[in-house]
Amino acid sequence: MLSSRGGPDAGAGDTCLVRACFGKPVPHTPVWFMRQAGRSLPEYRAARGSGSILSAISDAPLAAELTLQPVRRYGVDAAILFSDIVVPLHAVDFGVEVEAGRGPVVAQPFRSEDDLDRLRPFVPEADAPYVAEAARLVAAELAESGVALIGFAGAPFTVASYMVEGGPSRTFAHVKRLMHSAPELWDRLMARLADMAVASVRAQVLAGAQAFQLFDSWAGALSPAEYERFALPATRSVLSQLADLGVPSILFGVGTGELLALMGSAGPDVVGVDWRVPLDEARRRVGPRHSLQGNLDPALCLAPWPVVEEATRTVLSAASASASASDPASNSASNSAPSEGGGHVFNLGHGVLPETDPGILRAVADLVHEETART
């Protein structure tokens, strides 16, 4: 077990990360890094070897070890389960692989109603038992440490994007054609993918995850009107179906400056913000009822430390301004909600780049802890 970092009160489920997500008082601003388990770490490269990522994910002890490496290395407040948003799709044999350096690739893209037949319901304990097993291993290791385990799933729109495009896309031509040409079929696909996300997250939380993030990585390709019509309803459904778990939810996408208010309306406890929108501006768009996560530019972490240090302080300062601005409204508006709003989870604005020096991220985590420590 890791030594405790959560302070004397941090029992399971009441970690610094969870408290910040809910907008409750915290001993310091919690920090974790998207893709913190990854190629920037030499111990990751050593443990992973050259096998495919889906094969590493299906090896629960290995996945647990990769999940824990960045906790040891960076001193972060959360581990995020080593997995991938296409794991459920892969597990129901839809025919998706993850190509190194490219991302998810679908052999037979989803283009018509017939393709719905290839998308059977995802039953986590039967189709991908290794995910919950890895979560159990990590949760046991983190017990009493004050470090939270975050589970995750792809939001329906982003998973659909991979399915319909057949892989990463710059234009989203096929997916937009489908949603606008066959909106009823689109809605049926989104409902299926919402069920898939719900099943996946529920299994991870029941196995020990104390929070979860929905990655809607490509939502920024949509106009606000498209997001509201074609992506938001299914995301809202996922969050609503998972509300009974009582764990905080984080909704994240890239290039979502125009969508932040709509993303907040989907009902997450935390809205993730990429590096393009300063957190005080994000607060104006999201309103007072949510916590915010972000948003140091991952590419900036390749710069010399003084640049990274200044940028980290800038994020903390914008988060602090954002919290003060939201306090009054938060107090009056959220009495009935589990989340009090106004919290901040420090993170990057997108995933760690493989070229990143791990020493820089450790220094960022330390700086965030020092600067925000409350006695």
* Site for a copy of itself, rule CB under 8 A: 171-173, 176-177, 180-181, 220, 222-226, 255, 257-258, 275-278, 281, 297-300, 302-304, 307, 314, 353, 355
Sheet holding 291-296, edge to edge: 78-80, 148-154, 211-215, 249-252, 270-272, 291-296, 344-348
Between residues 93 and 113, which has the closer beta carbon with respect to a copy of itself? 113
Q: Is 130 a catalytic residue?
A: no
- Residue whose tokens read 């490269």: 45
- Residue 330, judged by CB atoms within 10 A of its CB (0-12, 13-18, 19+), counts as buried
| 187: Cβ contacts below 8 Å, ≥ 6 apart | 233
Q: How far apart are CA 107 and CA 104, in angstroms?
A: 10
- State the nearest-atom distance from the C-beta of 294 to a copy of itself, in Å: 11
Between residues 95 and 167, which has the closer beta carbon with respect to a copy of itself? 167
Q: Rounded to the nearest 10 degrees, what angle do helices 156-165 and 183-206 cross at? A: 120
CA distances to 160, 197, 301, 341 from 238, in Å: 15, 7, 33, 20
- State the nearest-atom distance from the C-beta of 4 to a copy of itself, in Å: 36
- State the nearest-atom distance from the C-beta of 281 to a copy of itself, in Å: 8
Between residues 194 and 260, which has the closer beta carbon with respect to a copy of itself? 260
Say if residue 331 is preceded by a cis peptide, omega within 30 of 0.
no
Q: Which of 5, 19, 44, 84 is catalytic?
A: 84
Q: Is 19 a catalytic residue?
A: no
Q: Is 120 a catalytic residue?
A: no
- Residue whose tokens read 């196995």: 207
Between residues 8 and 304, which has the closer beta carbon with respect to a copy of itself? 304
What are the start-end ranges of the H helices in the chain? 16-21, 42-48, 53-57, 60-74, 87-91, 124-127, 129-142, 156-165, 173-181, 183-206, 224-226, 232-242, 260-265, 279-286, 305-333, 358-372
Q: Are residues 314 and 288 in contact, defined by beta-carbon separation less than 8 angstroms?
A: no
- State the nearest-atom distance from the C-beta of 104 to a copy of itself, in Å: 14
Q: Which of 162, 195, 285, 297 is catalytic?
A: 162
- State the nearest-atom distance from the C-beta of 359 to a copy of itself, in Å: 16
In the chain, what's the furthest Cα-to-Cα distance?
A: 60
Q: Is 162 a catalytic residue?
A: yes
Ramachandran category for residue 298: left, alpha or beta (phi over 0 → left; psi -120 to 50 → alpha): alpha
- State the nearest-atom distance from the C-beta of 186 to a copy of itself, in Å: 12
Between residues 281 and 327, which has the closer beta carbon with respect to a copy of itself? 281
Between residues 102 and 118, which has the closer beta carbon with respect to a copy of itself? 102
Q: What are 151's strand-pairing partners?
A: 212
Between residues 257 and 328, which has the closer beta carbon with respect to a copy of itself? 257
Q: Is 48 a catalytic residue?
A: yes
Q: Are residues 9 and 3 in contact, defined by beta-carbon separation less than 8 angstroms?
A: no
Q: Which of 5, 19, 48, 283 is catalytic?
A: 48
- State the nearest-atom distance from the C-beta of 301 to a copy of itself, in Å: 9
**Tokens describing residue 243:** 């509300």
Active-site annotation, residues: 35, 39, 48, 84, 162
